[in-house]
Structure 1
Amino acid sequence: MYTNCDSMLNKKEELIARVNLDNPDFILLTEMLPKNVATTVDFVNLCIKGFQLFVSPNCSRGTGLFVREGISVSEVCFNEFVESVWVKVNLRVNESILIGCVYRSPNSSNNNNLLLLELLKKADDFNVDHVVVVGDFNYKFINWETMEVPMEKHSRDFLECTDDLFWFQHCKIATRFRNDNEPSTLDLVFSNDESLIINLKCTPPLGRSDLVVLTFEIDCDYYVEDPPVVRNYYKGDYDGMRKYIEELDLMQYCRSLSVQELALLIESTIQECTVKFVPLRSRTSNNRKPLMNRDVEKAIKRKHKAWNVFQNRRDIESRQEYVRCRNKVTAEKFKLNVRKKAFVVRVTDDWNSLPSNVVNQSSVNLFKAGLEKVWSGHHFKFCPYMTEEDSIVIEGQMSFDL
């Protein structure tokens, strides 16, 4: 899956929902960061559970590559070009593939354009069997259907470079749609083998972005690491462990050994008991599906359907229907955010203004009950010795039990 997300900060929830539906192994993103931001954005806030994130070392707008956990990869650094990220993936047949995500700004300098061409040549010369390069290159003047290019030097040099490398460009459709502007092909998918990329599809953008999401398959069998083995303490034979420790009679060593020697003896005994009485299990990644109800899933599917209709008809009515479905996804996503974050955010915002008899309660249930009454605007009294079995007396209200 690849897209130019034009700031991931406000599209992360929808991206996670799309990941949950499409189940990709690789997610390639460009322009992950907003254009004008006063503070530095930490990439930790952009991580997706179940994926490891590789980012561009020379980050301007943010170029990232998410790889599903368990896939054997190693990062490759080409430091010349401004924004690109590369990983080497090991395949099962003693081969390897180099996957790269590249972003070239439309205001790229002449020197940066030359560095891009050098970068592509180095990627082709890298010691791998296959190469896949995806990104937003912003060469809108190149016609990839006819392979024609006007007399624009940088576009012509780029096309000649990819031809000299014998790379195949798989994306022939328009990938950017903005209002009444003519659609253009800015996002490109290259490979050094024509049969390597299959099932390339164009799906609707994330949020209100004007750049589509490209999904495709890489026809290769990559190596997936075996899950690590850990101890299953839930199924340990602790009765047998106690009996074994009693038979050892460690008390007989208390007088003859020093404190340090006795600590080492206890530690080695615990390790020995763990090996004997606690079984092993394969640790599976606890990747629960993200919070997404059926309403969000249906809204995303309706958005995909409306997008396909808009691509075929290209009229005002289909455009309006797509915008309506897109906004519906945003509304459903907002409901999820409220469910996930409202309690935590409101507590931290209102903490300094909460009454002391609410903050100093002895249990979470009493604390939550007090918060509900504060937020609902009721005045109430708490007894300092109140327990969960006692009732809370509300002024002007009936008393109720927790």
Structure 2
Amino acid sequence: METWLNSEDDTQMLHFSNKFDIFRRDRESVTRGGGLLIGINSTLQSKVIASELNIEMLWVSITCHNKSHLLCLVYRPPDSTVSYWDQFEFALASQEHSFHKYESVVVLGDFNINWPNAPHKFIDVLNMYGFDQLVNQNTRPSTNANDGSQIDLVFSNTGSSVRNISVVDNPVESDHHAIEFDIDCRLYLPTTSTIRSFIKWNSGDFHHLNNLLHLAPWSMFLNENDVNASWSGFMDIIDAAVRDSFPRVKSRARKQSSPWITKHIKRMIQKKKKLFKKSRRSGIQEHWDAHKKWRNKVHYAIRKSYKDYVNNLFRSADNKKRFFAFVKDKRSSSLPSKFINPTNNSYYSNIEDIVNGFNRFFTSIFNDVNVHFNFNEPPPVLLKSLYLLIFHLVRMI
């Protein structure tokens, strides 16, 4: 928040200071305005990472459940010149070497510039570092309800970690609205490696398998009146016969969090870090230009590799497990998806309403058939199974 505090103002005068760890970056000049303050709940581990000298910017890390997030609070004076964006870029560059240590990097604050009219230089810098702007409402109202400006902004380099962002009434007297959002600090069990069991097909006894399947009591497991029981019995016989005929081997598979980061890109990142250290040590503009040029190449290479990886997931017909693992990892919540009733914008609350909602949607496009499911009178088995299958598939992704 913008505080208007200076060195003469004691932090103890703030009413919430006993419950929060307070980090300040006061404006050194005598001009009115500016000044930054971040209050972190004392139950969380937090510390100041950096406080920029040339611009009003404060970096603070938060650690919860062994997951660290980096917050950067910014205040841009409304009378700032064009050179401010160069200083802003330099400040991001000075911390970029540590971004990989954090689950997310969140840059937020009062930029005093209406986001729909943001300058290209500002947008280019954000895109260069992979930041997305998450606020989509006016944060400073005006007397005209249709007017207002979107000057309080929140940026994140991992959108899945920042959720439920909303603009709300400010709890204190201010001409700005407040912004609320959640940062994902849930505790996950370690999944760096997984022990998997694989069948060694080349070392199996196919003759023994054939005999087991030939002698299996199929009639005991197949039920012509219950397809589910028949399928379960069929798979039990197949699984038992395969386990008895083929050896298995266990292997530890290490999880790769970002498979699109190739060895070539890792080498490029290492070179970028070396160029940054060289530039910071020498301070020569030519070295900084070389670092920026190489940094841009790294960002573009990562974006291209990421797009190629995602596109290959869609193209490969035999890639279902990796595809759904990728989709699941990008979900911001493990809860089932919400289904909206388009007639009144309310949420469907039970399976029957959801299934009938799918039916109305499909029949609005293919209007040769109009079926309504009454669960007291069972619908055609094939159509009911189809809609229930669609419902469960949507919940999976």
TM interval, shorter chain, is: 0.3 to 0.5
TM-score by length of 2: 0.41
Q: Of the two structures, which has the highest relative contact order with CA contacts closer than 8 Å and spacing of 6 or more?
A: 1
TM-score, normalised to structure 1's length?
0.41
